Amino acid sequence: MRRVAVVGVGQSEFVRAYPGSIRELAFEGFREAMQDGGLTPADIDASIVCSAPEYDRQRSPAGVIAEYLGLNPQPTFHVETLCSSSTSGVRLAWSLIAAGLHDVVAVIGFQKMSEISSAESQERMGRGADIQWESPFGTMMPAYYAMYARAHMAAYGTTLEDLALIRVKSSVYGKLNEKAVYRKEVTLPQLSDPQDRMAGPVASPLRVGDCCANADGSSCIVLAAEDKARAFRKKPVWVLGAGAASAPVNLAGRDLFTGLSAAREAARQAYRMAGVGPGEIDVAEVHDCFTIAELMAYEDLGFAAPGEGRELIRSRATYREGKIPVNVDGGLLSKGHPIGATGGSQVRTIVLQLRGEAGPMQVKDPRIGLVHNIGGVGLYGNVLIFGTD
């Protein structure tokens, strides 16, 4: 198989309510990626558009967006694996290039969630679960992750303060990220004060501060075969590993509630393909849709043994200066979570880190970076590993 590299990355600002159309929103991430890689639409052999359905009225958005971005008559595809859609798109693009079907592929993720109300958004997220056996009973994303939080607390003694420390870290770096929707500091006293909005209950034990916010946004990752990559960039960032897995959609079919089995399997595949282990990861982006999700990711990825992830946040090991910096762009908790664009934003962060271009969020001399992106409540799991020459 051919080696594949990332040659261009882009992202719109993540905002609460984008005023334009989905095609205009997609253009913002695409434009930045084109400028970043010194590319034009004529350089793109194929496009992959990634989003979850039913947040806007457009059917088959890939066709509409490809036309708007000037990517006809090249083939275009629509990929959807809920919140992990754009890393599924990156994996597909890597496959197409490695197999020799295309040389340069653009992966465009977007979501315009503000076209519907918060209640409607939660209902659609709930239907990411089984519409026969689970979602009719009112299960929604915060409630699902609250069950995992309860299980982790019962098994390992994890505390509300452990979760709060993750939110505090997120806000430290969210303040530095000009693309983030939430750029305010969150303190431990706030999260402990029942009179503070951030400490308000959502689904016990999760509070407002434990939950990420919906957002509108787009991302774009351009991948290329080795010969093209070296022509576009002096310092390509290579795809070293790409793991993917799934789990039963019904929680009744699962046997693990202190972690996500799909994430563990995807990580195992990605580490094996890349020929590295958890101890060799210099910087990571993990899917922190809720604080408990980041804590479980520490353990699912092997950064800590089961039940010991809390020690990483307590010791600040996951801060920028720590032994395994995680989500030093603010993560979903501060950036916001525009479903189809989220994974692409994570990849963009890691690519900028490996190039040494992450500005005030830059980790010292990283060589290998990891992206962990989850769809639904651990229904889909993608882990990507990137490295420099």
Q: What is the pLDDT of residue 165?
A: 98
Q: What is the pLDDT of residue 44?
A: 98
Q: What is the pLDDT of residue 129?
A: 82
Taking the C-alpha atoms of residue 53 and residue 282, their distance in angstroms, rounded to an integer, is 35
Structural domain of 8: 4-117+217-232
* Cβ(320)–Cβ(361) below 8 Å: yes
Lowest mean pLDDT among 116-120, 206-210, 237-241, 322-326: 116-120
Which residues lie closer than 8 Å to 118 by C-beta, 6 or more apart?
Answer: 214
Is position 20 within any domain? yes
Percent of the chain with pLDDT over 90: 90
pTM for the predicted model, two decimal places = 0.97
For the question of residue 337 being annotated catalytic, the response is yes
Q: Which pair of structure tokens corresponds to residue 23? A: 């095609």
Band of residue 120 on the pLDDT scale cut at 50, 70, 90: confident
Which residues lie closer than 8 Å to 117 by C-beta, 6 or more apart?
Answer: none
Length of the chain: 389
Is position 94 within any domain? yes
| 130 pLDDT above the threshold of 90 | no
* Cβ(47)–Cβ(96) below 8 Å: no
Q: What is the pLDDT of residue 168?
A: 98
Average pLDDT over residues 212-222: 96
The model's pLDDT over 255-275, given as tens digits with 9 standing for 90+, comes to 999 999 999 999 999 999 999
3-state helix, strand, coil in the chain (%, to 5): 45, 20, 40
Is position 52 within any domain? yes
Domain count for the chain = 1
Taking the C-alpha atoms of residue 301 and residue 298, their distance in angstroms, rounded to an integer, is 6
Catalytic residue selected from 50, 83, 211, 289: 83
Q: What is the pLDDT of residue 124?
A: 82
Band of residue 284 on the pLDDT scale cut at 50, 70, 90: very high
Sign of CA dihedral 295, 299, 303, 305: positive
CB atoms near residue 201 (< 10 Å): 12
Q: What is the pLDDT of residue 50?
A: 98
Taking the C-alpha atoms of residue 113 and residue 340, their distance in angstroms, rounded to an integer, is 10
Is position 48 within any domain? yes
Estimate the crossing angle of helix 141-156 against helix 118-126, to 10 degrees: 60
The bridge status of strand 368-375 relative to strand 217-225 is: unpaired
| 15 pLDDT above the threshold of 90 | yes
Is position 31 within any domain? yes
Taking the C-alpha atoms of residue 83 and residue 320, their distance in angstroms, rounded to an integer, is 25
Q: Which pair of structure tokens corresponds to residue 161? A: 């303060």
Q: Which pair of structure tokens corresponds to residue 231? A: 């022509």
Is position 327 within any domain? no
| 285 pLDDT above the threshold of 90 | yes
Q: What is the pLDDT of residue 389?
A: 86
* Cβ(148)–Cβ(205) below 8 Å: no
CB atoms near residue 307 (< 10 Å): 15
| 49 pLDDT above the threshold of 90 | yes
Is position 83 within any domain? yes
Q: Reading across the β-sheet that carries 104-111, which strands appear in turn? A: 76-79, 46-50, 104-111, 217-225, 4-11, 237-246, 380-387, 368-375, 283-285
Q: Which candidate, 379, 375, 371, places its Cα nearest to that of 94? A: 371
Percent of the chain with pLDDT over 70: 100
Taking the C-alpha atoms of residue 134 and residue 126, their distance in angstroms, rounded to an integer, is 8
Is position 381 within any domain? no
Q: Which pair of structure tokens corresponds to residue 211? A: 């939950």
Could you tell me the CATH number of the domain that includes residue 71?
3.40.47.10
Cα 203–205–210 angle (5° rounding)?
80
Average pLDDT over residues 74-83: 97
Catalytic residue selected from 78, 102, 152, 337: 337
Is there a cis peptide before residue 278, judged by omega within 30 degrees of 0? Answer: no
The model's pLDDT over 164-208, given as tens digits with 9 standing for 90+, comes to 999 999 999 999 999 999 999 999 999 999 999 999 999 999 999
Q: Quote the distance between the C-alpha of residue 361 and its chain's center.
A: 17
Q: What is the pLDDT of residue 116?
A: 85
